[in-house]
Amino acid sequence: MNNCPEVVIAIKKHGATTAKTKRMIVIVMAMVPVLMMVNVGSVYLAHCRMPSVRFGTIENDNSLPPSQQTLQLLPVNTSIDDRNRGYDKIELYPPALASNRSYLAFTRGVMELNQRHAFWKSGQRRFCETIRQVTNVSIIGTHQPYHVQNNLPPPLMRVFLNCTGITTSTQLGTGNWITAIYAIRIAATLGMVDLEVKCLEDVKNDPDHLISWFVGYFPSPVDFGTWPYDEPVPTEKAACSNKVSRLRIDTMAHEIQSEVRKLAVTVLGTRQDLGWSHPSVPQNRPPLVPGVVLDDVVIHLRCGDVFGGHNGHNYGIVHFSEYKKYISPHNTTTLGIVTQPLTKGNFTRSTDLEKSEECRHVVTALVDYLQDYLPNTRIAIRNDVKEPIAVAYARMAVAKQVFVSESTFGIFPAVGTFGEGFFQRGNRDVNKWSIYVPEKLPNVHMMHAPRMSSLEIRDAGLNATLSWLVSPVIS
């Protein structure tokens, strides 16, 4: 990680590099600290003894203004997550330094970070500490950052995630990493820095990689003191905490809604007659994944964490009778149960597979229970290992009703759905922020269903758990 602004010595291409040019480079390098003090300011030098220096060439193209000319850097790579990745293009600042001669160009500070700076395992603390350093503030959100005071471009925090293997390598689920992305977006916005979240594999909007739908470029607010998302404006204590219970992801409720709906419309295609559209998706767009059979009602049943992945009270399963309170037997033609594949897939966590047999029994019991209540409804289990994971989100987002229990995976499509979303009340370590969503999105509702926690399920055993789930008397 580079906490200093990068300095680029750019040479106009008039031909081969001469010995005279090489001597000039040596002289300019010796002057870099002084030039930085004059042109950028002393604040950055407080955090680094010597700025990062890069060499490059710029085409002698006077038809373009300096700020639009592309600087081709010499091959110096940065190691990120055991991969080498260098810059392809760099922003020149300030443009007034550019001329037909060789010149010294300053870029804005670019911090290249990896998933160790994405909330989990003290990542949020590391991310916020980097923001403090590059903006020269002691508390994020309370004082104007240095770049705002001096009319400089905002620093860029570029975070790379291993989108194709992050869940299997860390044993943290997809929902955990989507939560992490929103957490660092909140911190970056409060700190007034630009944020770019990218997949190391350079994938985006890939149906097989759900996280790739939530990466992107998220610019800083223009004016200090403005908050572009839902209230309340978080304090640094909330935005930079590593405790899940302090996260206020609900401040991004409308962003979540927009991004989940964009995913659904892109995957399934635009349907104006059903109200499936998004401002950034062309009308009459064909489906990215054709031939998906959809359902009026979707229930997301989390298995892995509930039946053994966690041995505490944070995860659990709701009593089956809860669904009867909301699902009409007269208006439900089809119902789909979205759950984990029961056989190994490319992105199935080992902890989930260990409890696949318990999952099979519980899903079967739910199908039988609901079929008795909905005799004219076609009920299907949606867990084909070959089906792209983004389709699961799309199914939930376009259903007339979608139900999720305590799951960091299911909560996002429940918040973003076009229909009515129902979620089990969050707790200290799982989706506590969700309890504030219904006041922001009127189509999203919180359930207070009777439940059995993971620990209670473990102690009771499978047979007792199944008996409780279908019992007419709840205790």
Contact (CB, 8 A) for 420 and 402: yes
Task: Tell me the pLDDT tens digit for each residue of 388-427.
Answer: 999 999 999 999 999 998 889 999 999 999 999 999 998 8
Task: Tell me the pLDDT tens digit for each residue of 2-15.
Answer: 444 444 444 444 44
Q: What amino acid is encoded at 380 in this protein?
A: A
Is residue 277 assigned to a domain?
Answer: no
Q: What is the DSSP string of 400-464?
A: SEEEE-S-TTTHHHHHH-SSEEEEEPP-SSSSGGGGGSTTT-TTEEEE---EEEHHHHHHH-HHH
Is residue 423 assigned to a domain?
Answer: yes
Rounded to whole angstroms, how far apart are CA atoms 25 and 28? 5
Is residue 231 assigned to a domain?
Answer: yes
Rounded to whole angstroms, how far apart are CA atoms 71 and 64? 12
In this structure, what CATH number is given to the domain that contains residue 399? 3.40.50
Q: What amino acid is encoded at 49 in this protein?
A: R
* Region label for 33, one of left (φ > 0), alpha (ψ between -120 and 50) or beta (otherwise): alpha
Q: Within this chain, do residues 345 and 428 fall inside the same structural domain, yes or no?
A: yes
Cross-strand partners of 457: none
Q: Give phi and psi for 466, each to the nearest 5.
A: -60, -40
Residue 93 pLDDT: 35
- pLDDT tens by residue, the chain, 475 residues: 444 444 444 444 444 444 444 444 444 444 444 444 333 333 333 334 444 444 455 454 555 444 444 444 444 332 222 222 222 233 333 333 333 333 334 445 677 888 888 888 899 999 999 898 888 899 999 989 988 887 777 888 889 998 887 777 667 889 999 999 999 999 999 999 999 999 988 788 899 999 999 999 999 998 998 999 999 999 999 999 999 889 999 999 999 999 999 999 999 999 888 889 999 999 888 999 999 999 999 999 988 777 765 667 888 899 999 999 999 999 999 999 999 886 655 445 555 566 678 889 999 999 999 999 999 999 999 999 889 999 999 999 999 999 998 889 999 999 999 999 999 998 888 999 999 999 999 999 999 999 998 889 889 999 999 999 999 865 5
Q: Within this chain, do residues 233 and 93 fall inside the same structural domain, yes or no?
A: no
Q: Within this chain, do residues 362 and 443 fall inside the same structural domain, yes or no?
A: yes
C-alpha closest to that of 301 among 319, 289, 288, 287: 319
pTM of the predicted structure, to 2 decimals:
0.78
How many H-runs (helices) and E-runs (strands) does the chain carry? 14, 18
Q: Count how many domains the chain has.
A: 3
Q: Within this chain, do residues 27 and 141 fall inside the same structural domain, yes or no?
A: no
User: Helix, strand, or coil here: 56?
Assistant: strand
Is residue 280 assigned to a domain?
Answer: no
